[in-house]
Homo-oligomer: A and B are copies of this chain.
Amino acid sequence: MTEKILRTKIQETVEKARAANPLAPSITNTVTQDFVANAQLAVGGSAAMFYLPDEGETMSQIAPALYLNLGTLMPFYAETIPRTLRALKKFSTPFVLDPVGIGFGELRTELFLQMKNFPPTIIRGNASEIIALAKLWGLNDSETGKVRGVDSTDTVNAAKNSAAILAKFTGGAVAVSGVEDLITDGEIFIYSTGGSAFLSKITGSGCALGGVTAIYAAVAEPLTAALTGTVIFNCAAACAEKLTDAPASFKVKFLDELYKIDAAEVAENPLRIEAAK
């Protein structure tokens, strides 16, 4: 896939979401629901959050894509998540997984283990989470020691192998967030830069990226959807940072930019492409 084609797909995906107003319902943590929903609306999508099993089944049937983020589990997730996963598979509905909190708590570990049988269309996490998920699913035992590092370019590189293995296993795409972000389908490795240090000074920017990626997954295939989400975040954050000097006003400007930014400008954001060896 040439860079030119990728850039055209990014622009088309941004425009399609704005035109189609796709609904991407979420099971997501209670901390950042407002940010996730407002980010989804800002890029042209529609949001709905829910907790109950039968709602998960209905949403999996009627919505074009879902977003799952197990950041703040409550006891009834033990029933909601499995039933939603079964329905997602039954109706072949694409979904984005944020493996936040992986390794923390028995229920979360159990639910992430179950997901191996219901592979997410797109996995969006930081390097440690991606490595931990590949390890939990028994796909890559060699990188065990690096799980607890902080996010950095090095760490994204450290997660490159796990990301590729996960993408090949799921048949979808994986996005690894860091200073330089990595998006891969296991065959091609795309690196995206930009963004802002303020994204890590506000809560939920990773969650919001997952939710926006689900909006794009409703109108594009996995690699393009994952790439478009990451790139519009990098582009809008870089613009917002120029307008502010502190995190709360950055967040307002960032959401504004997600809404206002020109699709062609998003598509021109820096990209670096490597093919798998």
Instruction: Give Cα A106–Cα B254 distance, bound, in whole angstroms.
Output: 38
- A81-121 CB mask vs B (1 if < 8 Å, else 0) is 00000000000000000000000111100000000000000
* Residues in B whose Cβ lies below 8 Å from that of A257: 246
* Residues in B whose Cβ lies below 8 Å from that of A106: 54
**Measured between C-beta atoms, what is the minimum distance from A189 to chain B in Å?**
30
- CB distance B30 to A49 under 8 Å? yes
* Residues in B whose Cβ lies below 8 Å from that of A72: 49-51
- CB distance B203 to A34 under 8 Å? yes
Q: Is A52 an interface residue (CB 8 A)?
A: yes
Which of the four size classes fits the interface of chain A?
35 or more
Q: Is A128 an interface residue (CB 8 A)?
A: no
- CB distance A247 to B42 under 8 Å? yes
Instruction: Give Cα A202–Cα B255 distance, bound, in whole angstroms.
Output: 10
**Measured between C-beta atoms, what is the minimum distance from A240 to chain B in Å?**
10
- CB distance B203 to A248 under 8 Å? no
Q: Among the listed B52, B105, B203, B244, which residue makes an inter-chain contact with A38, where contact means beta carbons less than 8 Å apart?
A: B203
- CB distance A201 to B42 under 8 Å? yes
Number of copies: 3
- A246-272 CB mask vs B (1 if < 8 Å, else 0) is 111101111111011000000000000
**Measured between C-beta atoms, what is the minimum distance from A59 to chain B in Å?**
9
Q: Is A169 an interface residue (CB 8 A)?
A: no
Q: Which of A130-144 contact B (CB under 8 A)?
A: none
**Measured between C-beta atoms, what is the minimum distance from A220 to chain B in Å?**
22
* Residues in B whose Cβ lies below 8 Å from that of A104: 55, 58
Instruction: Give Cα A202–Cα B137 distance, bound, in whole angstroms.
Output: 38
* Residues in B whose Cβ lies below 8 Å from that of A19: none
Q: Is A273 an interface residue (CB 8 A)?
A: no
- CB distance A52 to B75 under 8 Å? yes
- A40-70 CB mask vs B (1 if < 8 Å, else 0) is 0110000101111011001000000000000
Given contacts A252-B248, A255-B247, A31 and B34 within 8 Å (CB-CB): yes
**Measured between C-beta atoms, what is the minimum distance from A212 to chain B in Å?**
13
List residues of chain A with CB under 8 Å of any chain B CB.
29-35, 37-38, 41-42, 47, 49-52, 54-55, 58, 71-76, 104-107, 201-204, 244-249, 251-257, 259-260
